[in-house]
Amino acid sequence: MGYASYMKRSRSGFPVFFRSAVGVLAILGLAGCQSSRGLKVQETPRTLLYSYVIANGMARGRMMTEDLPPAQVFNIITTDRNALLAILAFRDKPTRRTLRQAGHKVEDFIGAVEQPTQPLSPALSGSILLPPPTTPGFMR
């Protein structure tokens, strides 16, 4: 199998290679939890920022490749903003509490990004940023 076959895009728009890599990492993480010592990832400022940057890239990818309903786009944008504000609050007051709160907000953001796409109704399909086309004889 060549490199090109691993970089084919799946239905969701993310390359198959990256989806496979995420799957392998998830399995390894679960296997680590089953070991006698368990897998514990300590939240640090770097892991917090890294997680936020990855989630932000995932959000951009979904919004560019999928036709998401306006409510889902709004939810992604809102949780992104909340995560960023929590990270800034941690930057201004670096305590365990603010780090934990920022971590929860980043987890919420990741959850919003990974939420399955809800099908659009025919009335809502198309661009959400442009007004609907005017019909002849309606409010000239």
pLDDT digits (tens, 9 = 90+) for 5-35: 444 555 555 555 555 555 555 555 555 454 4
Residue 73 inside a domain? The answer is yes
What is the average pLDDT value for the chain, to the nearest integer? 75
Compare 127 and 81 and report the one with higher pLDDT: 81
Alpha helices in 8-95 (DSSP H): 16-34, 45-65, 70-92
Q: Quick one: pLDDT band at residue 82, thresholds 50, 70, 90?
A: very high
Residue 105 contacts residue 79 (beta carbons within 8 Å): yes
36, pLDDT greater than 50:
no
What pLDDT, on a 0 to 100 scale, did the predictor assign at position 18? 54
Q: For position 132, what pLDDT does the model report?
A: 54
In a domain, 48, yes or no: yes
pLDDT at residue number 19: 56
- pLDDT category, 44, cuts 50, 70, 90? confident
130 domain residue, yes or no: no
Residue 49: predicted pLDDT: 92
**Does residue 34 lie within any of the structural domains?**
no
Does residue 91 belong to any structural domain of this protein?
Answer: yes
Per-residue confidence band for 43, with pLDDT thresholds at 50, 70 and 90:
confident
Residue 101 lies in a domain: yes
85-89, long-range: CB within 8 Å, 24+ apart, which pairs? 87/48, 87/49, 87/52
Q: Which domain holds residue 87?
A: 43-112
Domain membership flag for residue 76: yes
R_g (Cα) of the chain, nearest Å: 20
**What is the pLDDT at residue 118?**
72
Q: Report yes or no on 50 lying in a domain.
A: yes
Number of domains forming the structure of the chain: 1
Q: Which of 53, 58, 67 is nearest to 15 (CA)?
A: 58
Cα(51)–Cα(49) distance, integer angstroms = 5
